[in-house]
Chain A
Amino acid sequence: MTNDPNFTGAAGPTTEELVFDAKEAQRRRKPNTMQRVGDHLKREWQLYVMLIPTILWLAIFLYKPMYGLQIAFKDYSIFRGVADSPWIGLEHFQTLFGNDQFIRALRNTIIISFYGLIFGFPMPILLALMFNEILKQSFKKTAQTIVYLPHFVSSVIIAGIVITAFSPSAGIVNTILGWLGMDPIYFLTKPEWFRPIFVGTGIWQEAGFQSIVYLAAIAGVSPTLYESAVVDGASRWQMMWKITLPSILPTIIIMLIIRIGNMLEISFEMIILLYQPATYETGDVVNTFIYRQGIQGGQYDLAAAAGLFNAVVAFVLVMTANAISKRYSRTSLW
């Protein structure tokens, strides 16, 4: 503002005007949230359309059923329905933890998962590294197809193959033992053999297919790294240790976290196909316990409680694994 009485016209903008203009310009350059989202949607709408089925799937098959989880805390009657069944608090959980067979199933679940992790997790990585070292393309393709194959065979057939392979009279395993002068063993009724057979079957069935992820990761490693290593005179062994493995380490860690999250999801149809009362001692897991006690016995509320508990343990496991990984390797799921 000026006090000059002769001043007649606006020589320049006032301070307020300048501030206003600046803000306006800023606003134009940086639109508000609504506009930004609108622009973004307009530009990228195809991506969002592709997202819809997944969101629907999540909502319908994973989030909506969570409503039914409340029956773990209710005295559930099918006829009364989920909403009208009376609350009974933690009674089902008390029943579960008062049952030695549930505790045993929980222990078996953890032990079998742990074996699966220790022996099963490195296998696809080893396979991928081995495939990567094969130079002859035709041999590589054939070998890959052979190890992928069991993944596409139904569990019922795999179980049939396993039962036959371990049969005391006609099975290949006992035939080989016979050549070595040993007595046949009725493997599938021996509690001490159940876990090795189950875990081994799982590895045989899935390792090949799981190696695809690592092969893809290896394919993404820049060839220039190998080229310069060759110039420096590195051996193949050194290249594998110093280049390939570190390059795919983030993939390995992500897969490990996912694996830990799914750790308690033992393929229970395979267990049902392979186990016997004689091997419940080492083979009965939480899911098979739920199946026998809950689904066959019609105790849906108790089964829901056992399932919920299983999920809570899995959740804690994946959170812990993620936190540890974030801390030490800077790789994490979220």
Chain B
Amino acid sequence: MRTFNLAAAAILGTTALTSPAVAQDIDLPIVDEPLELTVHMHWARAQGYGPGGDTSKIYPVEEVARKQTNIHLIDKTSGRNTTDNAEAMNLLLATGDLPDIVGGANIRQPVNEYGPQGAFVPLNDLVAEHAPNIQAWFDEHPEIWDAISAYDGNVYYIPYLPDGKYARAWFVRQDWLDTLGLERPDNVDELYEVLVAFRDQDPNGNGVKDEIPFFVRDWEEVLRLLTLWDARSTGADVYHQFYLKDGKVVHPYAQEAYRDGLANIAQWYDEGLIDAELFTRGSSARDYLLGENLGGMTHDWFASTSGYNVALADKVEGFNFVPFLPPKSVSGKRIEENRRIPMKPDGWAISYTNDHPVETIKYFDYWFSEEGALLANFGVEGKTWDMVDGEPIYKPEVLDSGRPVNSQMYLEGAQVYRGYPQDYRYEWQWTRESAREGIKLYDTEDLLVEQFLGVSFNKEEQEVYDRYYPSIQTYMLERQQAWILGTGDVKEDWDDYMEALNNMGYQKVLEVMNSAYERQYGG
């Protein structure tokens, strides 16, 4: 326990966004008489503000928050019978009867669209006057304040702010490398050689050429290979997004580096280095290909992928699937494109029907205070965790219960998608040793690239984007898959492709993207 704390502290020293930095004093309770505020809280783990969405029960965390702040959140969630956040939000807005607080997953777009129309309260002045902790957090991260603003320059929601850096990583069968006497690939050429060796030299030793050198669960992950030729596959933590190139917003699939990168991916696919069933393998690919001792390399989540060494220890002899540093690209750059985004479209907002905006923003601020953030991250002190030498440490019964700690927290009312700063110390404590080593490895170099945090369109820009972009992306993906599958040649088709994109309005979309970007992040 002790050594692990030190290790945790060492890593945390290098991650930027830890702990509510400058905790300010706030007066508690916020109100003298109990004040009830209604809340819409719709997210993946709970459709409603109660354990697992059961609103007849009260979260243990909420009970403590009530005692401390005297503000009682009362559930008033719409769309509790659907798990689709957007649908629930639409239902809520369509009824027009908004609760005092609107929270949950994916609220950024609706809040920033309908906030300026009067559905939500602008928070800029409220935060400046009444929320010292929120203010302090954003003073340190002004770019995130820009990112959450609507097109009118106001901020309408307080986001959930994830902590930690890495999401997905490169994994390789170390035991296969050892069998074939190979080193971990350090650049794109070595990677190619390793994949060829996996294909040809029977590393699983069954005498059949059935190895699948590179495989993925979501076919889009194969596009991470693009970074090996200095191209990009996306600019954010979801696929196919715009990215920032020399201060301008552009789409990765309209760049010349992409053309060359994709030509190479098509080549590798043709040579059998990439899973032939890439597009239909689906989510069970990793279980199946690792379990059957067939898959050699992938790009997938640190946390879940590192679990296979334990899970398959008895089934596949010598199984050792380890993370390795992203291979250097043709120009010698080493990047890991995928990372955790520092701010999510989740959180909460104050609706126009709320008669107590000042009390509400003070309440939001509470979750950014040291006490509130600990409560929001770890649950109730003394119940799920204790303070040991100034560090919040989970009780053994939480860590050793056999259930994932996050699932336990969701039932406690911690790690709920309210607006709060996540604390990576929460996750580190239950991260497997093998994943920790991978994270340490990735921390030895500066691998991460700038994220495009998205823009808020005004009405005209939104219209242009809606009119042109969905078709453009459809076309991009159609051609992308066709090229990988060998229907057509990306280098020969490139000029026609670019012309088609421009005819479909690509330049117009870029214009509105960049005008929105400059308005939002320029000043």
Contacts and interface: CB of A to CB of B under 8 A. Distances in A.
Contacts of A297: 466, 470
Given A168-B277, A297-B466, A298-B109, A278 B478 contact: yes
Contacts of A302: 466
Given A280-B474, A293-B470, A188 B279 contact: yes
Interface string B481-503: 11001010000000000000000
A46 B485 CA distance: 63
A169 B289 CA distance: 13
B3 interface: no
B480 interface: yes
B481 A277 contact: yes
Contact of B478 (A79, A81, A280): A280
Interface string A159-197: 000010001110000000000000000101100000000
Interface residues of A, number: 28
A201 interface: no
A163 B478 contact: no
Interface stretch (B89-97, B132-140, B395-403): B89-97
B280 A163 contact: yes
Contacts of A293: 470-471
Contact residues of B: prevailing secondary structure: helix
A276 B485 CA distance: 12
Nearest to B474: A101
Contacts of B467: 95
B119 interface: yes
A273 B478 CA distance: 16
Interface size class of B (residues with CB under 8 A): 20 to 34
Contacts of B90: 78
A311 B114 CA distance: 31
Given A280-B474, A293-B470, A79 B485 contact: no
B86 interface: yes
Given A101-B474, A277-B480, A299-B466, A168 B276 contact: yes
B480 A189 contact: no
B21 interface: no
A70 to B, nearest CB: 14
Nearest to A102: B471
Contacts of A332: none
B477 A277 contact: yes
B444 interface: no
Contacts of B331: none
A236 interface: no
A145 interface: no
A256 B280 CA distance: 35
A262 to B, nearest CB: 26
B117 interface: yes
A281 interface: yes
B16 to A, nearest CB: 33
Given A101-B474, A297-B470, A189 B117 contact: no
Contacts of A81: 94, 96
B505 to A, nearest CB: 10
Most buried by A among B117, B280, B467, B471: B280
Contacts of B276: 168-169, 186
A92 to B, nearest CB: 10
Given A81-B94, A277-B478, A292-B474, 12 more contacts: A79-B96, A79-B114, A163-B282, A276-B280, A276-B481, A277-B481, A278-B481, A278-B485, A284-B474, A292-B470, A293-B470, A302-B466
Interface of A: 77-81, 95, 99-101, 163, 167-169, 186, 188-189, 276-278, 280-281, 284, 292-293, 297-299, 302
18 contacts: A78-B110, A79-B96, A100-B471, A101-B475, A163-B280, A168-B277, A186-B277, A188-B279, A189-B280, A189-B485, A276-B481, A278-B485, A280-B474, A281-B478, A293-B471, A298-B109, A298-B466, A299-B470
Interface of B: 86, 90, 93-94, 96, 109-110, 114, 117, 119, 276-277, 279-280, 282, 466-467, 470-471, 474-475, 477-478, 480-482, 485, 487
